[in-house]
């Protein structure tokens, strides 16, 4: 009587083929996830730039703002402390594997109005959630550097170390 089914060798060959396909596909999936996170970070930087300009127009006596003041809770009431311009996730500083920060400054000593700002975005885990670091100042040009070094200062962002996003 002949037994039906697969031999051990046939099953091992099928498992080996599946493992080879997985070994090819998984790195591509990780690269696609990094690319999606970087695209989201770039879009979030554009959102912050627009929000900073809107905030400065709405509160000219204050000028630019920090990131938490640009956002607010779900039932947000607009004020200079919670402008309700960006969503609460972005104003908290973490979105799509990136950590965001916005720091307003005054160009004059003792100045009340914050007429300058620096916004940065760095991957939370380098080479896992992203590879590019982003920065932007009040000229609203988003700049990037690969690999992200996390040391974006105003001078570094404006000094030509970063390249503009196309």
The whole-number pLDDT of residue 129 equals 93
Can you spell out the DSSP letters for 27-68?
HHHHHHHHHHHHHHHHHHHHHHHHHHHHHHHH-TTTBS--HH
Spacing of C-alpha 116 from chain mean position: 21
The CA–CA distances, whole Å, from 83 to 6, 49, 68, 71, 138 equal 66, 14, 9, 6, 18
> Half-sphere exposure (CA, 13 Å, Cβ side) for 129?
14
- Closest CA relative to residue 94, chosen from 128, 118, 122: 122
Give the SS3 label for residue 70: helix
pLDDT of residue 166: 67
pLDDT along the chain (166 residues), means of 10: 81 94 90 95 94 93 93 85 91 93 84 86 92 90 83 73 77
Closest to 67 measured CA to CA, from 56, 51, 43, 46: 51
In this prediction the pTM is 0.82
Do 159 and 135 form a contact (C-beta atoms < 8 A)?
Answer: no
């Amino acid at each position: 009587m002949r037994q039906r089914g697969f031999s051990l060798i046939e099953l091992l060959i099928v498992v080996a083929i599946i493992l080879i396909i997985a070994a090819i596909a998984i790195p591509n999936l990780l690269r696609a996830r990094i690319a999606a996170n970087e695209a989201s970070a770039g879009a979030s930087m554009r959102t912050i730039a627009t929000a900073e300009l809107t905030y400065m127009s709405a509160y000219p006596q204050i000028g630019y703002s920090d990131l938490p003041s640009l956002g607010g809770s779900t039932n947000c009431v607009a004020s200079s402390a919670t402008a309700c311009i960006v969503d609460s996730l972005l104003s908290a500083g973490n979105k799509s594997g990136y950590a965001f920060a916005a720091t307003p400054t005054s160009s004059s000593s003792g100045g009340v109005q914050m007429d300058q700002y620096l916004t940065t975005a760095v991957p939370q885990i380098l080479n896992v959630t992203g590879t590019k670091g982003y920065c932007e100042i009040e000229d609203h040009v988003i700049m990037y550097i690969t690999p992200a070094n996390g040391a974006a200062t105003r001078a570094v962002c404006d000094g030509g170390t970063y390249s503009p996003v196309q």
